[in-house]
Structure 1
Amino acid sequence: MTIIQPIDTFTDNELIARVLAGEKRLYEQLMRRHNTSLFRLGMSFLNNDMDVEDVMQLTYINAYQHLDQFRQDAAFGTWLKRILINECHQHLKRMKKTASEDLALHQDIPKTRETPVDAMMNKELGKVLENALLSIPEKYRAVFVLREIDQLNVAETSKALDISKVNVKVRQIRAKLMLREHISKFYQNDVVFPFHLIRCDRIVYAVLDKLEIK
């Protein structure tokens, strides 16, 4: 009797191998696995949920088109995060119309409208933490999101942000010092930049359509 292994039990690398072998539709599983963490990271840079969705689509398309170049000595999620950060960087450059590579410049852009994410934030803890996170410089915020919310280790965060392990530790400490003490004690990772099924489906199906994967 042949036992069929459930798709959700495959590792990322196993799914990647099958996608490269021709089972392209399995790329959907990879996207769904990493949607939430990429969305949180994107929000820490852009602070606009619709912009983040666009950047996530570009990230997944870019990753798919270069999937055969993925080196499996690193985690697939870390590789995706580095692509996302680059896409955020390019997005901010387009929006700011400047050659500056300082992503922190986007904090000078005033919010002119309430985003759908703002409207959905009905948990006070999530609101307080998000406001606090968005008040600190991007380089500290990104480390905090990856280490404290997505729970990446120091090495993974170092690779994702392309900074030294020492810098990861220093920025993490400084981020905590910048946030109010009670926030760092009481936050929960499911209330910060929440990622809902409707958004997940929208991003996944948009990418599959653009890649013409049926």
Structure 2
Amino acid sequence: MSDEEIVNKILSGETRLYEKLMRKYNQQLYRISMSIINDDKEAEDIMQTAYLNAFRQLANFKQRSTFNTWLTRILINESLLHKKRKQKQERTLMENNYIDHDDYTPLNSLMNKELKLLLERAVSTLPEKYRMVFVMREVQGMSTNETMEALNIGESNVKIRLNRAKDMLRAELNNYWQPQELYEFNLVRCDVIVNYVMNEILK
């Protein structure tokens, strides 16, 4: 059953089918949000908000693009909005001399934690516009067209940003990285997101 068919069934009253869409796209949305936010807990909160927003706007999904692209745009917008709010809060704290800089803390779910830390730190140093394209294309495996639509940029920009991101990463990682291990979103996290959103929807 296609995403669009599932959406139509949800709109017809089969609300619980929304869980299928969430489980399908949890990994993708997590990775993309992490490429913007770089904080796993905040990324999970953003995903929950994005899923709820998407559900509430489901009737407005006109299928001019794929559901995947439509949902990804909502996630990106929510992530960027969250980042903007956070930066504003940090500026306020800095002005009042109360900011406390925490050391970067890696996720702890992979066997090779040292490699994972190296990869995620390297990706996190990329400028945002390159990092987003890199995660969407190379980590998540989205197509050029999907990336173009989600970010509202042209094909040449996608290719230029991706190549530039690879050049910057290659300098640090000597062309060695494992995209399937980057920003892993395990089953426990998946269940937490799904259960929270479904509980909100079914209230």
- TM-score w.r.t. length of structure 2: 0.87
Q: Is the 8 A contact 1:121 1:127 kept in 2?
A: no
Report which stretch shifted further, 67-76 or 80-89: 67-76
User: Identical aligned pairs, as a percentage?
Assistant: 44
Unaligned runs of 5+ in 2: 90-98
Alignment pair present for 1:144 and 2:123: no
Q: Aligned residue pairs: how many?
A: 193
Deviation per residue, 1:53-85 (Å, 9 max, x gap): 110011001100111111223121111111111
Partner of 1:119: 108
1-structure distance, mates of 2:48, 2:54:
10
In the TM superposition, 1:21-170 aligns within 5 A as 21-97=12-88, 112=102, 115=105, 118-123=107-112, 124-170=114-160
Structure 1 residue ranges (4+ consecutive) displaced by more than 3 angstroms after TM superposition: 181-186
Q: What root-mean-square deviation, in Å, do the aligned CA atoms of Structure 1 and Structure 2 show?
A: 2.1
Judged with a 3 Å threshold, the aligned counterparts in structure 2 of structure 1 residues 151 and 111 are, in CA distance, closer, same or farther, namely: farther
Report which stretch shifted further, 55-64 or 179-188: 179-188
Deviation per residue, 1:123-150 (Å, 9 max, x gap): 2332222111011111100000111111
Deviation per residue, 1:130-182 (Å, 9 max, x gap): 11101111110000011111111211101111112111111011101111258
Partner of 1:105: none
Deviation per residue, 1:22-56 (Å, 9 max, x gap): 10000000000000000000111111111001100
Give the CA deviation at 1:121: 4.2
Alignment pair present for 1:177 and 2:153: no
Judged with a 3 Å threshold, the aligned counterparts in structure 2 of structure 1 residues 210 and 79 are, in CA distance, closer, same or farther, namely: same
Unaligned runs of 5+ in 1: 1-9, 99-108
